[in-house]
Structure 1
């Protein structure tokens, strides 16, 4: 599907509310679905991500170069520090950073939204990409909190857009050639790779979980191992 700027804004708001609600749990020291990370680490990551995207909003608004993070080491250290904060303090940071980012984005005019900024991966993109970047973080990591949510709880149009995004990113890297078909929507993706294409089918939410590395099966059957997505 062809996602729009308004779509991304809507998904970012939806995912933020979903993540914050899922994070409203006393067991924040429990493991998340990500190896080596507790739920606290995920909260710290999402809070820091909002602050970092806020840096890019500032760049777009003022023209003053403001990187997301000063370095990968600074980013990692911030997450580790946040993971050790008391739950109340960490939750307050999560909420404040999300509100501050939303308020900052709301002030950007049409011309400012077209301003080029640089992501943490070094890609130069227009500021219009920032809501999509945020929606991916909050929606996917809401599932990673391991509080009972699944990809089936996310909007179908977001899932389709995420599959488009993942396939585009995976298309240039190593891995098996795949043809994936969503049995509930009819959507289809071709992933170039090594060997003859393997045909896989399943519900849209299952395909999304597989492509993002959150499941190693599809339709209950083992699926080819994929390399890291991001």
Structure 2
């Protein structure tokens, strides 16, 4: 609990009299990273998406046109207020406040896109495992998981993007049926073919970007090219 309290204080200080503490709107680094995240999405459109750690909603606004419904969540009340203002004209986007992983939401239908960017290194190892378990229970078969994190050390926190993505790869790069898909009522799931496939991996000098599909099919396979 101390880590969560410390993190909340950390983010409160960042957003104190500052609506854009990481300069999402002005830095080329941030725009380039967002563009790369959008470019590697395996699908053009998603039915029900969620973004964990939405901050002030800059990336949420770019995700919104690709989603029929988008839920954006952040633990900081100031960030949530800013995101709500930014997305006020997007009726299909809902912004809520919630500390991860204690207040991870569930949905029906379950999410077919989960975006986790620049947040997991603020959590403990145990909390990251909780998020991983939540992903396996709340990502629809055929859905997409996108994770992107800064590679450098963050003052006051033990983990970096390197350690976070190493743990994610350990969890999802199994190439087996170890992950049991969540079944909706009346839905037939082919568990033989329902696996996490590592769709994309970008090792940038400054950040790591990994995309998994809850399906054995690549983008080319989905469009019958191979």
Q: TM (normalized to structure 2)?
A: 0.30
- Largest Rg, 1 or 2: 1
In terms of fraction of residues, the more strand-rich structure is 2
Q: Which has the higher contact order (CA 8 A, sep 6+)?
A: 1
Query: 1 or 2, which has the higher helix percentage?
Result: 1
